Each structure stands twice: as structure tokens, then as C-alpha cells.
Structure 1
Amino acid sequence: MKGPISQFIEKNYLHFNAAALVDAAKGYETHLLDNGKMMITLAGAMSTAELGISLAEMIRQDKVHIISCTGANLEEDLMNLVAHNSYKRVPHYRDLSPQDEWDLLENHYNRVTDTCIPEEEAFRKLQKHLIGIWSKAEQSGERYFPHEYMYQILNSGELEQYYEIDPKNSWMLAAAEKNLPIVVPGWEDSTMGNIFASYCIKGTLKPSTMKSGIEYMTFLADWYTKNCEGKGIGFFQIGGGIAGDFPICVVPMLYQDMEMHDVPFWSYFCQISDSTTSYGSYSGAVPNEKITWGKLDITTPKFIVESDATIVAPLMFAYILGQ
């Protein structure tokens, strides 16, 4: 018996995007019941939207088997974990003048829509710990992926002194505890990526200490081929952008470029997006377009929920978790 949130959804969400939400959530459930695995991709500022409240439980209950996310989502979950009390909410953000924005900058607040991330408490607090493990790895001649450095810090317990939210609401902490595979394409396009680049420019670190995007793709190719048996691997895309575009391409790469003609297509696809197809945006493309790129099969269950992911994703996760 499902809980009250799921019952509310089933009773009220009967048409249009609401019905698509239910269909996609049921499809996700069916995929897992058939022993399929699932990739979730995180675009935008989903960590700052505190998706961890629901995503962490999905990870703990083995409802997700691999994550692809932007560098921003990777670090912003940790920032919220260690600096939540210093975040500043600006509900009237639409009324801010250029001078108001400048004042936020002067006070070391970086704004994401209605939420300002505190530079000193968030960025610099993490930076202190990251430079330590980056330097240690370089001195030992070791190289790791961006998320692996984050895992090392989390698993060491050195951040526990700073926790400002219930740690069960951090999806990165849940992922670190399970050593969940993560792919972070374009990590350089993040605050910590910029900071790492600055150390390389100063000569403090070498770029090679950080494993690259190409190495993420080769890792993903290996993971996919080892995990695609049986029902296969589903693709649950939150938003658009590189977090989704990068990993979905592993299938055509294996099939076309590696000539592995027995590699299966993604076996479930859902995207939560409000991007508009007619603008030529890949993020807004309907799932059928992906058939032409060798990513999805004709028979792959396909869903698109054209809505706000910050509203839709927690509801879908609640349904999948039976809440």
C-alpha cells in the first residue's frame, strides 16, 4: 500500500503533464521491478533546490544506480551540507535592481534565482579541504575523478564538524556511503573547477591530477557494458544540458564507433524539461528524435514531463519510494 503522497498523486494527477508524471513514475517502477538499472542526470541547480531531501533516499533504497551531473550540482550539495544556515533567500528576486545585485556581490552572496550561496561559508570552506587532498594526490602521483575527491572528503569525516542540515538529506553523502558511480561532464564549468584551474595557472597543481571528461566517457563505456544485461539501463533526465547529453551518447559511441553491435539501447527514457523543441534545442527534443541518433529503440518506454523539475522530481521520487 502506497502512502498519502502517492495516493494523492494517483487521485488528482489524471491529465496532461500531471498524467505524464504518473505514467513516467510507474514506468520507472516497472523498470526496477524487472531488475533494470537506472541512471539519473541532474542539470541546473537541483542541488541548491535541495533535491537531496528526496534523491538521497532514492540512493539509499537502490532506486538509482549511477548519476550524471554538472560540476555545480556535485559541489552545491556539499555547500548546502556545510553552509546551509548562511544561505540567503531572496523571494522578491524579480524586483532586484542592478545595484541590488551588486550589493549582494559586495556581501559575498552569489545568487541562483531566489537563493544566494554564501561565498566564504560555502566555496572557501570546501576549497580549504579540497586543496589539501588535491595536493596530497599530486605528491603521491595519484589521479582521481572530481567526484572521487569529494567522496574522499566525505568519507574521511572531516566535514562533519560543519554539518548544518540533517546529513540524511545530502545526496552526495548517500552516494559516497554507497560509492555510487558518478559521471561529471564539463566539471571545469563549476566553482571548484575554476578554483582547480587557478591553482594550475599559478603552478601549484598540474591539470593531470584531475581525471578528464574523456576518462569519464571511457569509465561510463566500461560501466555500461558491464551493467546492461537483462532489462538494461534506463535514463531519467532532469533538465537538459551536458549532464544528459554527455552520458546518453555512450550507446551510439559503443555501437557505431566501437562497432559493438550487440550493445543494447537505453531501455527506459524520461525527461523533465520545459525547453521548447522548435528552438532547435537538443534539451527540448522529443524522445523519438533520439531514435535517429541510435540512443533509444522503437520499443523503449518514452516519457516527457514538460514542467518544473523542482516540483516534479520530488513528487516522482516520492511515488517511486511509495511515500
Structure 2
Amino acid sequence: MGVSSLSIRNFVDSNFLHFNAGELKKAAESLTQFIDQGGKIFITLAGAMSTARLGKTLAPLIRTGAVAGISCTGANLEEDIFLLLAESKYESINDWRSLSGQDDFELLSRQLNRVTDVCIPENEAIREIENLILPLWKSSSKNKKSYLPHVFFYQILLDSQLNFDGNKNDSWVLAAAENNLPLFVPGWEDSTMGNIFASHVIDSNVNPDIILGGIHYMTELAAWYETQNSQLAFFQIGGGIAGDFPICVVPMLNQDLQREVPLWSWFCQISESTASYGGYSGAPPNEKITWGKLSVETPKFVIESDATIAAPLIFAYLLDY
């Protein structure tokens, strides 16, 4: 039986008509129009989106120039690079829901760190990055130079001597580094490499002052936001600090500094959280109006779905795959 070929954009337009599917279609259509009119996207990444291979669609989107900046967790920053260095050493767990405690202990004994249904190899990924980045930390300590955390990661990625095991076209951090994309990583210390950095501080190998923190990221974000000439869409994947931190730059500039900057011009969040449960991180779109982050007229979308499904579909839609 012959099957007609549909692009992802055409498939979404034809089949995603109601409920969360309909909301995804409306958001994708609206964001496409926003970009076509000269707007750019500010993306926030929570959860384990890098290990979910979001880079396969995010990296090419970055290379189009449509992405103005990214805010992410320390885990998403490092886990994209883990894949780049050791993809062939990852192990998938097909029946992960049936694992016993003993099964997981055996994975630990093999130095495999499980993230739901896939394991990150300790030596080939995590310790390899430690070996690459530690000399940079030590050099900065010796020279009394301080940098934002992601700068060190950009440096090791742009080193021509680095051997990639994964497909470099699928690495969103590499695409960001190559394009010198503004990157903001609030709470970086809550990550594997942040923990490793702390261990070297305890061992007196490096000076803790070489890593600039969240306040420095906010001042960098504020300076960056004030220089933007394009309207900015705020595309939030998940909740938590990756999204809550950067969206606050607007009320900080307008209310605390008494400056006049535009509000975020477009908003979408992919989340499965429910505000009334109390565990929702941030605020629903209309609530954000009361905090001076969005306006009444701002296009607003909430896709209550699995971000590992919805985000790649929207990025593919924007890329017209």
C-alpha cells in the first residue's frame, strides 16, 4: 500500500487539531510567524532534555540564527557534551520499569549512571570532561581569572584537538559555542561537573572564586537584554530555575532599576505540572502578567505534554522538516 509523504510541518497542520495537539500546532504556527516577522527565540531547558537528544533539532535551529539565547540547567549543559564525547559507550535499558534495586546497583558497579532508560558512562563521559576541563580551572586559579561556568565548556569544545565520538551536528552546545550564543546557566553548581568542581576546591586544586555565579549571570543577562533589537519569544521547556531565572530579568530592569525595556513578546511553556498542586515552578502565563513579565496582548501557549515529544516536534516544524 502506497503511503503519501508528509513533512512534519504538514503532518502537524493536518493532524494536530485539538487539545494538547491543537495547542502545539497553534504554538508552532504562531512561533513560525513570529520568526518570519523578524523575532527571535530565547529557549530555556530544564529536565534531561540533552540526554533525550534534543540537540538533533535544537542544534540545527541554532545554526539558522533563529535562537537569540539559551538558559539551561548545569545538567543539560554537561549532558549534551557527555553524548558528544562518548555516545557509543551509552547503554540503553529497554525494560527499565522492571529494574530491581539490585539491577541498578549492578549498573553502579559498572560505572553506568542511569537516566530513566539510558546510562551515561562514568569514565568515558564524565571523567573525560573532568580531565579536559581541570587544566583550564587550574590555569584560571593560577592567573586569578574568573569566568562564567559555561565559558570553560565552550573552550574545550572549540579546542581543535578534541575527539568527538558522537555526531557533532547533533550537539546543541557545540552549535552554541561555534556561534558564540549567549548562554546562561543559573544554579550550575547543582550538576555533576559542579560537584566535581567543588571536590577540587575541597582538595585545594582550584580556587572557588574562578567560577562566577548566579548574580553574575543575571547582570550579564540584563546587559544582554537591553541591547536586543529584535522581539524575543520566551520558549520554556519544563520548569525550574532554567525558566524562572531568566524571565525575571524584565521586571528586575523595569521595576527594580526603573528602566524601560519591552516585556517578553511571545510565550510558550511545555509542562505537565498543575499550578493548583503547589509544586508548579514559576507561574501560569496570565499570572506572569501580575509580575510584569508578560503583557495582556502577549501570545501565550501552554502545552501540557511530554517535552521530549513536543519540543522536537515544534523545532522540526520551525525547521520545516
Cα contact 1:273–1:283 (8 A) shared by 2: no
| Residues 225-254 of structure 1, C-alpha deviations (whole Å, 9 max, x = no match) | 111x45x21100001111001101111111
Question: Normalization by structure 2: what TM-score?
Answer: 0.96
In the alignment, what sits opposite 2:102? 99
In the alignment, what sits opposite 1:177? 178
Question: Normalization by structure 1: what TM-score?
Answer: 0.95
| Residues 122-161 of structure 1, C-alpha deviations (whole Å, 9 max, x = no match) | 10000001001111122222211111111111111232x2
In the alignment, what sits opposite 1:19? 22
In the alignment, what sits opposite 2:120? 117
Q: Which amino acid aligns with 1:219?
A: E
Task: Kindly state the Cα deviation for residue 77 of structure 1 after the two structures are TM-superposed.
Answer: 0.4
Q: Indicate whether 1:4 and 2:15 are aligned.
A: no
In the alignment, what sits opposite 2:87? 84
In the alignment, what sits opposite 1:280? 278
Q: Which amino acid aligns with 1:196?
A: F
In the alignment, what sits opposite 1:187? 188
In the alignment, what sits opposite 2:161? 158
Q: Which amino acid aligns with 1:193?
A: G
Task: Kindly state the Cα deviation for residue 201 of structure 1 after the two structures are TM-superposed.
Answer: 1.1
Q: How far apart, CA to CA, are the structure 2 residues paired with 1:32 and 1:307?
A: 23
In the alignment, what sits opposite 1:147? 150
Q: Which amino acid aligns with 1:226?
A: T
> 4+ residue stretches of structure 1 with deviation over 4 A?
none
In the alignment, what sits opposite 2:220? 219
Identical positions, percent? 55
In the alignment, what sits opposite 1:312? 310
User: What SS is found at the alignment partner of 2:67?
Assistant: coil
Task: Kindly state the Cα deviation for residue 94 of structure 1 after the two structures are TM-superposed.
Answer: 0.9
Q: How far apart, CA to CA, are the structure 1 residues paired with 2:122 and 2:56?
A: 23
Q: How far apart, CA to CA, are the structure 1 residues paired with 2:187 and 2:38?
A: 31
Q: Could you list the runs of 5+ residues in structure 2 that have no partner in the other structure?
A: none
In the alignment, what sits opposite 1:252? 251
Cα contact 2:274–2:280 (8 A) shared by 1: no
In the alignment, what sits opposite 1:236? 235
Q: Could you list the runs of 5+ residues in structure 1 that have no partner in the other structure?
A: none
Bigger shift: residues 283-292 or 23-32: 283-292
Task: Kindly state the Cα deviation for residue 6 of structure 1 after the two structures are TM-superposed.
Answer: 0.9
Task: Kindly state the Cα deviation for residue 259 of structure 1 after the two structures are TM-superposed.
Answer: 1.2
| Residues 183-222 of structure 1, C-alpha deviations (whole Å, 9 max, x = no match) | 0000000000000111111111111101111100000000
